Amino acid sequence: MPRILIATIATVLVAFAAPTHAQTDYMGNLSANPYAGPKRTYPDGTFDNPYGTSGTSPKLYDSEGGFRGNLNANPYDPDSVANPYGRYGSEYSPDSITNPYGQYGSRYGAESPNNPYGQGLRVYR
């Protein structure tokens, strides 16, 4: 009986701990490294949508499943990498891919899309 209870609890914990992007489509990595991951083709307008929102844009995630912003060109989307005042688009935010001194924007950050030798960030639809 204890084995069944432990298995049930483990199953429930795994279901709640799964990243939110697990149910969506993996689109590849956003990276300056030409050898990082499989190359994918994207439909026109995928990343340069000026009207993109959290519901319509591809999303960036780090290797631990942490959300790193919406990949669109909407400067008014609070989670967009194009919002110069937002958490993921400001050149001063530590979580932004546009901060040249931050973990995700530096040329030297392991997961930075700007690092020509790194893996970059994962893109999910």
Convert the pLDDT of each residue in 34-72 to its tens digit. 887 766 667 777 777 788 887 889 999 999 999 999 999
Q: Which of 27-36, 81-90, 114-123 has the lowest mean pLDDT?
A: 27-36
The more confidently predicted of residues 4 and 76 is 76
Convert the pLDDT of each residue in 57-67 to its tens digit. 999 999 999 99
In the predicted structure, residue 17 carries a pLDDT above the cut 60:
no
Q: What integer pLDDT is reported at residue 51 of this predicted model?
A: 80
The CA distance from 30 to 34, in Å, is 10
Contact 125, 47 (CB under 8 A): no
The pTM of this model reads 0.74
Percent of the chain with pLDDT over 90: 53
Query: Residue 34, exposed/middle/buried by CB under 10 A (0-12, 13-18, 19+)?
Result: exposed
pLDDT tier for residue 8 given thresholds of 50, 70 and 90: very low
Q: What integer pLDDT is reported at residue 10 of this predicted model?
A: 46
